[in-house]
């Protein structure tokens, strides 16, 4: 297969000394369906509306980082269909470098997102072109990956693509293993940080140490992953904020209290903000404290990329409790 390259918020990403962020990941169109509640198995419900919006974890994280001032390069793939233009619209508007996005014959990825009135969502992803972001596609951007201060990866592309990117990276690796896919343990250990929610954390731990009992508490999950040889771990907890742990300590960071309208893409907003901050050289705790505010901002409106803040937006007030 050959590929064709197709008061205001203040972020340290604007203060100078910021390295580049390379995101290797998925690009989708989200079919967003709104309904009063989620259907039970076998049940048919009447939805209130539907629309098509740009999405994909890779694209979402790239937009979130770029809108917060980072220099972002995205590596991925879209189809030759009309949906590709929808998928790339906000990426282009936010200034993301798309020279590493390949055009392939498979259709652009599609995510079917159902959002209930309480803000909770369910997502079914059809990978399409994203399934072709393997080692060959990633290796065409080897120079950009090697030069990046931060390389960001997720679980919506093939394991071979993730492994190739990690092998070429010389900067910090942010591995958001969502969804959780099977990777070599040595590859997961390159994460700094590994970013997962509580469900993903348990699945990753089972890969790292199959004989280990799965902890029931979030804090224990983070500690167990660190004990498996991962340099730093960030566990996202939705409205409860996040836990982060690295060589500097173990910290609990509370999120601002907001009224959630749509939680889809909030985790990606968090990862994008985290990556933009890490590219400036700040410590992990400071990056997480900023990222929880960005995630809280994102849940206050519908959609993924369209809900992300820019440097002119005011973030919700943060109340952080830090426990060393």
Q: What is the pLDDT of residue 175?
A: 98
Say which CATH topology domain 4-23+59-76+133-307 has: 3.40.1190
Q: Is residue 6 within 8 Å of 103, Cβ to Cβ?
A: yes
List, for residues 26-51, the tens digit of each pLDDT value.
Answer: 999 989 899 999 999 999 999 998 98
Distance of alpha carbon 100 from the chain centroid: 18
Q: What is the pLDDT of residue 4?
A: 37
Domain range summary for the chain, segments of one domain joined by +: 4-23+59-76+133-307
Q: Is residue 190 within 8 Å of 199, Cβ to Cβ?
A: no
CA distance to 21, 26, 98, 166, 288, per residue, from 171 (Å): 9, 21, 20, 9, 19
Q: What is the pLDDT of residue 145?
A: 98
Q: Is residue 188 within 8 Å of 175, Cβ to Cβ?
A: yes
Q: Is residue 207 within 8 Å of 156, Cβ to Cβ?
A: no
| DSSP 3-state of 211 | coil
List, for residues 93-143, the tens digit of each pLDDT value.
Answer: 999 999 999 999 999 999 898 888 887 888 888 999 999 999 999 999 999
Residue 139: CB atoms within 10 A of its CB come to 15
Q: What is the pLDDT of residue 318?
A: 64
Would you give per-residue pLDDT tens digits along the chain (324 residues)?
333 333 344 444 433 446 899 999 999 998 989 999 999 999 999 999 898 999 999 999 999 999 999 999 999 999 999 999 999 999 999 999 999 999 999 999 998 988 888 878 888 889 999 999 999 999 999 999 999 999 999 999 999 999 999 999 999 999 999 999 999 999 999 999 999 999 999 999 999 999 999 999 999 999 999 999 999 999 999 999 999 999 999 999 999 988 888 787 899 999 999 999 999 999 999 999 999 999 999 988 887 899 999 999 989 976 544 444
Q: What is the pLDDT of residue 159?
A: 98
Q: Is 30 a catalytic residue?
A: no
DSSP E strands: which ranges in the chain? 4-5, 21-24, 28-35, 49-55, 72-78, 97-103, 109-116, 121-126, 150-154, 172-176, 194-197, 233-236, 242-246, 249-253
Query: Nearest CA to 141 among 280, 274, 3, 1?
Result: 3
pTM greater than the 0.85 cutoff: yes
Classify strands 28-35 and 121-126 as parallel, antiparallel or unpaired.
unpaired
Catalytic residue, chosen from 30, 218, 246, 268, is: 268
Burial environment of residue 285 by CB neighbours within 10 A (0 to 12, 13 to 18, 19 or more): buried
């Amino acid at each position: 297969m050959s590929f064709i390259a197709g008061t205001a918020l203040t972020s340290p990403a604007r203060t100078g000394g910021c390295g580049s962020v390379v995101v290797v990941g998925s690009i989708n169109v989200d079919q967003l369906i709104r309904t009063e509640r989620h259907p039970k198995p076998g049940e048919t419900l009447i939805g209130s509306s539907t629309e098509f919006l740009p999405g994909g974890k890779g694209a979402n994280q790239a937009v979130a980082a770029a809108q917060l001032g980072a220099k972002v390069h995205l590596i991925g793939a879209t189809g030759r269909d009309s949906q590709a233009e929808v998928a790339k619209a906000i990426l282009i508007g936010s200034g993301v470098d798309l020279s590493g996005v390949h055009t392939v014959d498979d259709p652009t990825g599609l995510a079917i997102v159902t959002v209930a009135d309480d803000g909770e969502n369910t997502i079914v992803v059809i990978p399409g072109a994203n399934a072709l972001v393997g080692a060959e596609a990633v290796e065409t951007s080897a120079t950009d990956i090697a030069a990046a201060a931060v390389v960001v990866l997720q679980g919506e592309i093939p394991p071979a693509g993730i492994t190739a990117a990690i092998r070429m990276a010389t900067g910090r690796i942010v591995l958001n293993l969502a969804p959780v896919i099977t990777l070599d343990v040595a590859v997961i250990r390159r994460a700094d940080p590994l970013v997962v929610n509580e469900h993903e954390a348990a699945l990753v731990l089972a890969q790292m140490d199959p004989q280990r009992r799965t902890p029931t508490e979030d804090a224990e999950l983070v500690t167990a992953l660190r004990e498996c040889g991962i340099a730093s771990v960030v566990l996202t907890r939705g409205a409860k904020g996040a836990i982060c742990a690295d060589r500097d300590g173990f910290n609990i960071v509370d999120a601002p209290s907001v009224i959630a309208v749509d939680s889809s893409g909030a985790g990606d907003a968090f990862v994008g903000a985290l990556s933009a901050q890490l590219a400036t050289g700040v410590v992990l705790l400071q990056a997480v404290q900023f990222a929880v505010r960005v995630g809280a901002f994102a849940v206050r409106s519908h959609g993924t990329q369209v809900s992300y803040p820019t440097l002119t937006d005011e973030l919700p007030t943060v109340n952080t409790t830090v426990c060393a």
